[in-house]
């Protein structure tokens, strides 16, 4: 996932958002509640928030290589903070 040419932004392109969502739901089934993107030291990162069928909330992070890692707060008790 590359940032648009010459721009640094915390927003994702449509293609980046779709790729992040597809990668996240492949790792964790559930309903997508949100997706956010950011640039960190020149790397595009995204966070996908998912609620599984039991109501458990998950945050998954993806880097430019599309590797998914659960956040340290994979089970967030109230809202996505």
Q: Which of helix, strand or coil describes residue 23?
A: helix
Report whether 48 contacts 32 (CB < 8 A): yes
Cite the beta strand spans of the chain per DSSP E.
31-40, 43-51, 57-62, 68-70
Q: Could you report the per-residue pLDDT of 1-60, keeping only the tens digit for each?
A: 454 555 556 778 888 888 889 888 899 999 999 999 888 887 888 999 999 999 999 999
Element (H, E) at 17: helix 14-27
Structural fold of domain 14-70? Nuclear Transport Factor 2; Chain: A, (3.10.450)
Residues shown for the chain? 81
The per-residue pLDDT for 57 is: 95
Q: Residue 64 has which token pair? A: 């430019």
Q: Could you report the per-residue pLDDT of 58-75, keeping only the tens digit for each?
A: 999 886 555 566 654 333
pTM: 0.68
Tell me the β-bridge partners of 43.
40
Asked whether the predicted pLDDT for residue 76 surpasses 50, the reply is no
The domain segmentation of the chain, as residue ranges, is: 14-70
């Amino acid at each position: 996932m590359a940032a648009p040419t010459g721009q640094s932004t915390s927003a994702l392109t449509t293609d980046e958002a779709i790729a992040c969502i597809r990668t996240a739901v492949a790792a964790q089934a559930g309903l997508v509640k949100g997706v956010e993107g950011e640039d960190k030291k020149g790397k595009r990162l995204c966070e996908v928030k998912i609620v599984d069928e039991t109501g458990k909330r998950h945050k998954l992070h993806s880097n430019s290589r599309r590797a998914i890692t659960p956040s340290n707060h994979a089970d967030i008790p109230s809202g996505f903070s």
